[in-house]
Chains A and B, each alone.
Chain A
Amino acid sequence: MWVLLVLVVIVGLWMVGAYNGLISLKNQTVNAFKQIDVQLKRRHDLIPKLVNAVKGAMDYERSTLEAVIQARNQAVKVNASGPEAMKQVSQAENALSGALSRLLVTVERYPDLKATGNIAQLQEELTSTENRIAFSRQLYNDTATQYNTKQQQFPTTLVAGLAHAERTDLWEIEDQAERAVPQVDLSRR
């Protein structure tokens, strides 16, 4: 009789612990996902400033600049919700990343542009923004993986239904061009 009671108490305590652990991970995952949004917004706000700074000196590169602006506006517009949202957002943002990296490579070709401190500062800002986005994605993927693993592992999987734990998608790089290592030509032209 006593043994049974003790057993019930132990199992009960374990269930509480496992349930709370899952809930905590779930909220961390949601929070990490929101962090990506915060950083993407930061990038959207930065781009007009960058384009304005280089516009005057780069008249010949109009197409590159326009591509950046277009990609940015496209990315801002994406406002889908539901399971499709992440795919759309990541597609638009990846396009923007591509346009931006092309712009950065182009800026390298204009020594006078680089010489002014303004550009160096903006370049640093842009590098930092790209890093922030990459790191917030990394945090999200790490947290989500932890969450997914936890809810699938035995014995935590027994309380997964109770905690309404569902598999979350990871943020993946979909564009094949993004996946490849960019080729940067460093020779001066």
Chain B
Amino acid sequence: MIGFILFFAWLGFGGDYVWSLEGHHPFPWVGIVLTVVAIITAWHTYKTGPEKVLWATGAQELIDPQTDAERQVTNVVDEMAIAAGIPRPRVWIIPDDDPNAFATGHDPHDSHIAVTRGLLKMCTRDELQAVIAHELGHVKNLDVRLMTTLAALVGAVLLVREGMGRMMRGGGIPVRGGRKGKSAGPLLAILLALWVISWIIAPLVTQLLALAVSRRREYLADAMSAQFTRNPLALASALEKIEGAAAPTTSIKSGAAHLCICDPLGRRLTNSEGWLADRFATHPPMSMRISRLKGMGYAQLKKEGGSFTSSAPV
């Protein structure tokens, strides 16, 4: 968050400096405006992020459960909140037949969990429990705050850059031959180049940041799910089911993709490994997650003296 504001200040004040080299604008208004814009956007996204994300998916809050499935999901959320030792989050249902789930919010005292109807229909109680535990892992790690904010900030950076680009073309930096007398040292040249480059890569950097954070956190949340339920194999089989139904979740937009339990866009990238996928996918490869969970499950079975074949779900 602070990095975001500083980044914007750097972009803005850097711009002023370039202009002052040209002999215009002694007052650094671009810098001030951009910094203020950054602070306001950051504050605003922090405040309204969860509502925006939930609104974008068309989720409805589950307050008074009517059907068996609804009762089950509220019970399961209650149970996992107890296991995680955090207050009960609010539950939302997304009217979508594709199985998926995500969590959002600011901190454990103000968190939301959203599941699709498809997930409720497809999963057994144990699997649902594992998925909810995974999401509560995100809540307990405070991932939700980070990821919801990142989701909104990626959008904001794109927007501001778009606006600035138009302004620059319109108002135009007058192209003059040579600078006015002021000697610009090599240090200045480097700074200038850096400034231009950061303008170009600003959206890319925020995006990559969001992705890198998200992928590492998925493994952690998987592990926490296993810690809460003591049943890693249930999450493995839930992930397999979700992967099997790999149709894109239409109601979840790309902005919220990294919040979900698995990539809702049904992208190929998520299933491949390698450098490119490592950099650009929002989630680690499903097969890697499943095999890690199965590893945990077998280790547990071995410790408890159970047999491999009988209790391991396919």
Contacts and interface: CB of A to CB of B under 8 A. Distances in A.
Interface in B160-217: none
Interface in B57-102: 68, 71-72, 75-76, 78-80, 82-85
A135 B82 CA distance: 6
Q: Is the interface of A mostly helix, strand, loop or mixed?
A: helix
Interface string A113-145: 000010011001101100110011011000100
Interface of A: 28, 32, 35, 39, 117, 120-121, 124-125, 127-128, 131-132, 135-136, 138-139, 143
Contacts of A28: 85
Contact of B75 (A32, A35, A124): A124
A35 B86 CA distance: 11
Interface string B268-311: 00000000000000000000000000000000000000000000
Contacts of B80: 135
Contacts of B129: 131
B121 interface: no
A138 B75 contact: no
Interface residues of B, number: 16
B82 A35 contact: yes
A132 B82 contact: yes
Contacts of B85: 28, 32, 35, 139, 143
B68 A121 contact: yes
Contact of B79 (A120, A121, A132, A143): A132
A120 to B, nearest CB: 6
B228 A135 contact: yes
A128 B78 contact: yes
A44 to B, nearest CB: 17
Contacts of A124: 68, 71-72, 75
A128 B75 contact: yes
Nearest to A39: B82
Contacts of A39: 82
